Amino acid sequence: MNYETGLILSIILLPSVIALLLVMIRRIIGPYAGWIAGITAGLNLLATLALLPLLRQGIEPHIALNWLPQAGIQFILHLDWLTFPFLFTEALVTVFALIYALGYHHPDERTPFFYALLLIFGVGMAGTTLAGSVFLFYVFWELMLVASCVLILAWGEGPNNGSVALQYFLFTHLGSLLVLVALINLYDAAGSDSFVALRSGISLAPAAVTTITALFLIGFGVKMAVFPLHIWLPDAHSVAPMPVTIMLAAAMLSMGVYGILRFPMSIFSPSQIAMFALPMMVAGLVSQVYGALMAIAEQDIKRIIAYSSVSQMGYILFGLGTLTYEGIAGATLHVIYHGVVKALLFMCMGLVIRATNKRQISELGGLMNKIPLTAACCAVGVLAIAGVPMLAIFNSEWMIYSGGFHTTYPGLAVAMVLGSLLTVAYALRLFMEIFWGDYTSDGNLIPVSAAMRLPTVVLAGLTLLAGLFPSPVFAWIDQELTLILGGLW
């Protein structure tokens, strides 16, 4: 085993082993479970960043073992430029979610299980991006669903967490089954489950290509939670404990985007999937507008940010649907920037909820002078989500709009630009109603842990830096695009 293979193995094995230890010897290390999990996630982020110089040298770390050779099934872990942006986003969000959990989670006898499941949730997402074979991809895909579902079921906030967890599992598992059918069809056509075999060319009838692509788009669209496949998202995000909500919104939704890029857009040619361009752009526009309108209408501040995710995934789907360099680059950039900004906004809402013990926006107000640090961080988040220049999301939205204008449907791009006004409306409403005006509450604010404030401040700083210095991240995306649509740009 060489250095690079050791790194990618550690990203999967280290948190898995630590999660197992947290459960097996919980009586001994239980009081330190949060710190142990946080350090583990930090080491995973460092391992992910250590892989970046290898990619720049043209080295793609790769592990391949014959798992079921009689059936052509292999255990393959592989890192390339398409994998890296998603792996980095997942690792970054997991670190911040676990640090935040140190202040948010109330320790009890189940705490080691809580942190173990957060680590396994992260393993599911990391494994999904690192998998180099169809079989392994689906194993990790289901692992992240199971881990997140148990977290919602066992630690959900509210009387109906059981029904919410069931709805979340059934609906997202239905999407997973559609993906499974498409994967099995590809496996049968290639005679192997290796991504390399799939990319080398498979013979499929045009009708089969259409069917498989449609299955992928719907199945992965469920994970993205684009309208009307978003039904599970508002309840799951509002009921889940905040660290889990952060991982769901800021990292897991991007797995659906990764699936679309990894399979139909990497395997089939532009001419084969061109018929889906317009439906994807229209669906993206509808999701953008619907999510924003629901965010404007909502009163629960967690649900406002949840519906914001439906809207933001619409931007990404629109960018992918353009089938242009600018659109796909912008969509992938938006995944990273959305992950940072959405984690920031949920952390800010968690600080507000913990300080006031209130979630209804009508019961809040005048908190600017009471919690100025939270107000400042939230201001960065809402301005970023609104697409203000020199903040992260402006750069990706610019590319997405540009991709739309390079298609034969510039009217849809104009509609997307106008639809962004709704994003501005819900973002400013959220900030103004929570922090502006007079403080009317009769109760005193509850002190909030530094462990919750620290990652919030750091993410606000990253949002500013990503907007001011977009070039390094864009360089990753530029490398990725040679792997998509056959590099035909």
pLDDT in tens, 27-56: 888 789 999 999 999 999 999 999 999 989
Phi, psi of 401 (to 5 degrees): -60, -40
Paired tokens of 335? 């995944």
**Tens digits of residue pLDDT in 240-253:** 999 999 999 988 89
Domain assignment present for residue 172? The answer is no
Contact in structure between 66 and 144 (CB atoms under 8 Å): no
- Within 13 A of 131's CA, how many CA atoms are on the CB side? 27
Domain assignment present for residue 485? The answer is yes
Contact in structure between 302 and 209 (CB atoms under 8 Å): no
Domain assignment present for residue 9? The answer is no
Strand (E) or helix (H) holding 146: helix 134-155
- The pLDDT value given to residue 255: 92
Q: What's the whole-number average pLDDT of the chain?
A: 90
> Omega into 228 within 30° of 0, i.e. cis?
yes
Contact in structure between 334 and 457 (CB atoms under 8 Å): no
**Residue 486 structural domain:** 275-489
The confidence band for 480, taking pLDDT boundaries of 50, 70 and 90, is confident
Q: Which 3 state secondary structure label does DSSP give 185?
A: helix
Taking 80 as the threshold, does the pLDDT of residue 486 lie above it? no
Lowest mean pLDDT among 12-21, 282-291, 359-368: 359-368
The amino acid at 221: G
Domain assignment present for residue 47? The answer is no
Spatial separation of the C-alpha atoms in residues 350 and 95, rounded to whole Å? 17
Q: Which of 351, 315, 358 is nearest to 333 (CA)?
A: 315
- The pLDDT value given to residue 50: 94
List residues bridging with 131 in a β-sheet.
77
> Omega into 389 within 30° of 0, i.e. cis?
no
Taking 60 as the threshold, does the pLDDT of residue 356 lie above it? yes
- The pLDDT value given to residue 487: 52
Taking 60 as the threshold, does the pLDDT of residue 165 lie above it? yes
- The pLDDT value given to residue 298: 94
Domain assignment present for residue 246? The answer is no
Question: How many domains is the chain built from?
Answer: 1
- The pLDDT value given to residue 6: 85
- The pLDDT value given to residue 221: 95
Domain assignment present for residue 453? The answer is yes
Residue 106: count of CB within 10 angstroms of its CB: 7
Percentage of the chain surpassing pLDDT 70?
97
Determine the average pLDDT of the residues in 371-393. 93
Spatial separation of the C-alpha atoms in residues 397 and 139, rounded to whole Å? 33
- The pLDDT value given to residue 442: 64
Rounded to the nearest 5 degrees, what angle is found at the Cα of 209, between the Cα atoms of 203 and 213? 135
The confidence band for 411, taking pLDDT boundaries of 50, 70 and 90, is very high
Contact in structure between 341 and 413 (CB atoms under 8 Å): no
Q: Which 3 state secondary structure label does DSSP give 68?
A: strand
Contact in structure between 304 and 234 (CB atoms under 8 Å): no
- The pLDDT value given to residue 244: 94
Taking 80 as the threshold, does the pLDDT of residue 17 lie above it? yes
Matching residue, tokens 């583990």? 40
Distance between the two ends of the chain, CA-based, in angstroms? 37
The interaxial angle of helices 325-356 and 392-405, nearest 10 deg, is 140
The interaxial angle of helices 392-405 and 450-468, nearest 10 deg, is 40
Taking 60 as the threshold, does the pLDDT of residue 489 lie above it? no
For every residue of 201-240, DSSP letters joined together read -----HHHHHHHHHHHHHHHHHHHT-TTS-TTHHHHHHHS
- Within 13 A of 402's CA, how many CA atoms are on the CB side? 13
The confidence band for 290, taking pLDDT boundaries of 50, 70 and 90, is very high
Contact in structure between 456 and 351 (CB atoms under 8 Å): yes
* Whole-prediction pTM: 0.93
Taking 90 as the threshold, does the pLDDT of residue 2 lie above it? no
Spatial separation of the C-alpha atoms in residues 329 and 482, rounded to whole Å? 11
The confidence band for 58, taking pLDDT boundaries of 50, 70 and 90, is confident
The confidence band for 441, taking pLDDT boundaries of 50, 70 and 90, is low
Spatial separation of the C-alpha atoms in residues 143 and 123, rounded to whole Å? 8
Taking 90 as the threshold, does the pLDDT of residue 157 lie above it? no
Matching residue, tokens 């069809």? 185
- The pLDDT value given to residue 181: 94
Domain assignment present for residue 256? The answer is no
Determine the average pLDDT of the residues in 315-322. 96
Domain assignment present for residue 408? The answer is yes
Q: Where are the alpha helices (DSSP H) in 357-449?
A: 372-385, 392-405, 410-435
Paired tokens of 218? 């719907």
- The pLDDT value given to residue 71: 66
Q: Which residue has the higher pLDDT, 190 or 354?
A: 354
Paired tokens of 482? 């040679």
Q: How far is CA 147 from the centre of its chain?
A: 15
Taking 80 as the threshold, does the pLDDT of residue 160 lie above it? yes
Contact in structure between 100 and 347 (CB atoms under 8 Å): yes
